[in-house]
Amino acid sequence: MRIFSHFVALFALVVFAAQPVSAQSILRDAETEAFLREISAPLVEAAGLEPGNVDIVLINDPSINAFVAGGQAVYIHSGLIDAADTANEVQGVIAHELGHVTGGHVIRIGEGYQAATTISILSMLAGIGAALAGSGDAAMGIMAAGQQAALGKFLAFSRTQEASADAAGAQYLSKAGITGKGSLAFFGKLLNMEFRRGISQSDEAGFYRTHPLSGDRISKLREVYIVDPAWDAPLDEEWERKFQRVKAKLHGYVAKPEFTYRDYPESDTSTPALLARAYAYHKDARIERALEAADMLIAREPEDPYFLELKGQVLLESGRVEEAVIPLRQAVELTRSEPLIASMLGHALIATEDESNFEEAEQVLRAAVGRDRYNPFAWYQLGVVYAARGDMARARLASAEQQVMNRQYPLALRSAQAAEAQLPYGSPDWLRAQDIAHEARALMEQLCEMNRANCQGRRR
């Protein structure tokens, strides 16, 4: 029975490892999100999906990975961006993950689990029969062989899904007219990592993998890519330029400052290097150096909204809120109220503690949540404005919006119910308060079902 319990635990680990989003932090940056939408749009269209309905989400995790976890969203680890050398390599990864989306692989993982569990249960029953017949050693052997077969069944199912996603990704790249060279280059990086870690590429080792052997994947994909008309398509220079900016600012934001100074030394005065160092200086509390780098970038491109956003962020987070309003207001105007930048401007206007700025703050924050409802920070700031104005009903509604997104379901339920009691009956805000209350209650019940014993303990 112990073998069976280990087997079930292993399956649980495999299944839940595919959905780690809630355990990790999402990185949001206006420029990065715009870039990822731009380079993925032709691939999404080639996959037969609507670009506006597919999200590319960046996860703060140094490992080189990407995954899907249900719905039309692709999650990319920050470590993957750092490891990639070109935008084309990232497109190869996105194309592969879209293959998982269109193949419904997250939903179908239950099929592989069920088939493997059936084998496991049958072997356990056969082992019990042998034990009852008086052959304990035979019983253990039968059950061990059954668990091995079940594990092999599940891993084979996973490898089949990965191979299917490889083929679909190659098809989407081809249809979009994008070369597969980046895809092969990235698989080559993975293969080199496996060699450095001493991971065998033998068939026997491949049996225990959730993915096909990297060497085999490269060989099969190369045969497809080199005959594709898009193989010799040139890289998009604008995408590659933007990628170097996004990669540099991400490095400056997540890496330790000393690593950023090493990888982007002061002798490098390129735009990506200035971006990386500006974020590193800011993390290192070297505010004047950060502002100096931001001003050099603005001098090169005075109407680049992301350079203005950078300066505003440094000023705001160093307590110089009145100064921060000016570049942030410019950035909002240039991006036509990009939600993340608008949220920062709203925060800066509120932080001035000047009530004459609150009306503008409300306007920009309402515009931000109107275009991006899933922005808890903007909802929190909007709640602050409503509370300052004495509109406690809408302040509680804004709090409920923020709390349900932060998975604070009991708080969200109470805030939504309080808002509903104060808002005009039947108004759009009243209906929204009802929706949040229903959502929070349903999610609380779902969590209780997952952890029934814990919930029963609370009831006592």
> Do residues 328 and 447 share a domain?
no
Cβ neighbours of residue 241 closer than 8 Å, sequence gap 6 or more: none
pLDDT (average), residues 364-377: 95
Distance CA 88, CA 181 (A): 8
pLDDT higher than threshold 90 for residue 216: no
Element of type H or E holding 56: strand 55-59
Which of 21-25, 51-55, 380-384, 421-425 comes out lowest in average pLDDT? 21-25
> Looking at residue 150, what is its pLDDT?
42
> Do residues 160 and 139 share a domain?
yes
pLDDT higher than threshold 80 for residue 29: yes
Q: Which of 225, 258, 283 is the last residue of a domain?
A: 225
pLDDT higher than threshold 80 for residue 45: yes
**Amino acid (one-letter) located at 254:** V
- pLDDT tens by residue, 285-337: 999 999 999 999 999 999 999 999 999 999 999 999 999 999 999 999 999 99
pLDDT (average), residues 73-91: 97
Distance CA 288, CA 443 (A): 46
Return the biggest CA–CA distance within the chain.
Answer: 87
Residue 300 lies in a domain: no
> Do residues 28 and 170 share a domain?
yes
For the beta sheet containing 55-59, the strands, ordered from the edge strand earlier in sequence to the opposite edge, are 26-27, 55-59, 73-77, 66-68
- pLDDT tens by residue, 223-265: 999 999 999 999 999 999 999 999 999 999 999 999 999 999 9
Element of type H or E holding 124: helix 105-132
Q: What is the dihedral of CA 315, 316, 320, 326, to 10 degrees?
A: 70
Quick check: helix, strand or coil at residue 29? coil
Q: What is the dihedral of CA 435, 440, 443, 447, to 10 degrees?
A: -170
Burial class (CB in 10 A: 0-12, 13-18, 19+), 91: buried
> Do residues 70 and 19 share a domain?
yes
> Do residues 357 and 442 share a domain?
no
> Do residues 396 and 380 share a domain?
no
Under 8 Å between Cβ of 9 and 57 = no
Residue 235 lies in a domain: no
What is the token pair recorded at 86?
A: 């070109």
What is the token pair recorded at 24?
A: 């990790």
> Looking at residue 298, what is its pLDDT?
98
pLDDT (average), residues 259-283: 98
> Looking at residue 192, what is its pLDDT?
85
pLDDT band at 15 (very low <50, low <70, confident <90, very high): very low
pLDDT band at 138 (very low <50, low <70, confident <90, very high): very low
> Do residues 399 and 350 share a domain?
no
Cβ neighbours of residue 109 closer than 8 Å, sequence gap 6 or more: 15, 18, 157, 158, 161
CB atoms within 10 A of CB 411: 16
Residue 292 lies in a domain: no
Residue 243 lies in a domain: no
Residue 192 lies in a domain: yes
> Do residues 49 and 124 share a domain?
yes
> Looking at residue 194, what is its pLDDT?
74
Give the residue carrying structure tokens 């225990």. Answer: 208
> Do residues 336 and 448 share a domain?
no
> Looking at residue 210, what is its pLDDT?
46
> Do residues 208 and 332 share a domain?
no
Distance CA 248, CA 240 (A): 12
Under 8 Å between Cβ of 83 and 64 = yes
**Amino acid (one-letter) located at 152:** G
pLDDT band at 164 (very low <50, low <70, confident <90, very high): confident
What is the token pair recorded at 57?
A: 């989400």
Q: Which of 169, 198, 225 is the last residue of a domain?
A: 225
Q: Which of 225, 248, 275 is the last residue of a domain?
A: 225
- Residue 204, domain extent: 2-225
pLDDT (average), residues 32-48: 97
Residue 309 lies in a domain: no
> Looking at residue 450, what is its pLDDT?
78
Closest CA to 263 of 8, 27, 82: 82
> Do residues 337 and 407 share a domain?
no
Distance CA 43, CA 38 (A): 10
Q: Over the chain, what is the mean pLDDT?
A: 84
pLDDT (average), residues 378-400: 97
> How many structural domains are present in the chain?
3
Under 8 Å between Cβ of 339 and 373 = no
Residue 397 lies in a domain: yes
> Looking at residue 197, what is its pLDDT?
65
Q: Name the CA radius of gyration of the chain, rounded.
A: 26
Closest CA to 33 of 60, 55, 53: 55
> Looking at residue 129, what is its pLDDT?
46
Residue 262 lies in a domain: no
pLDDT higher than threshold 80 for residue 204: no
> Do residues 154 and 51 share a domain?
yes
pLDDT higher than threshold 90 for residue 425: yes
pLDDT band at 205 (very low <50, low <70, confident <90, very high): very low
Cβ neighbours of residue 260 closer than 8 Å, sequence gap 6 or more: 251, 252, 276, 277, 279, 280
